[in-house]
Amino acid sequence: MQELLSIIAKGLVDDPDSVSVEADAPTEDGTVVYHIHVAESDMGRVIGKQGRIAKAIRTIARSAAIRNDEKIAVEID
């Protein structure tokens, strides 16, 4: 999952070297929270107008997680 999120984020930004994806330990209900870190100047590209790109990233990630019987959440930092 980290690789998928990393590939998506690197395709959107101007500085792909600054992209990193970290995963927290699963919570009580089994949800894993992934944090996408990008450069400050690329934050708008990853979030998009009215959060549309961020919402699309979350949708793709959840779809991939469902195939693996996982529960995830994605945060952009």
Look at the chain and report how many structural domains it folds into. Answer: 1
Kindly compute the dihedral angle of the four CA atoms of residues 56, 46, 7, 60, in this order, to the nearest 10 degrees: -10
Predicted pLDDT at 77:
87
Phi (first) and psi of residue 75, to 5 degrees: -120, 140
Domain span holding position 68: 2-76
Please report which confidence band the pLDDT of residue 23 belongs to, taking 50, 70 and 90 as the band edges.
very high
Question: For the whole model, what pTM was predicted?
Answer: 0.90
- DSSP 8-state assignment for residue 14: S
Cα separation, 52 vs 33, in Å, equals: 20
Residues in the chain: 77
Which CATH number characterizes residue 6's domain? 3.30.300.20
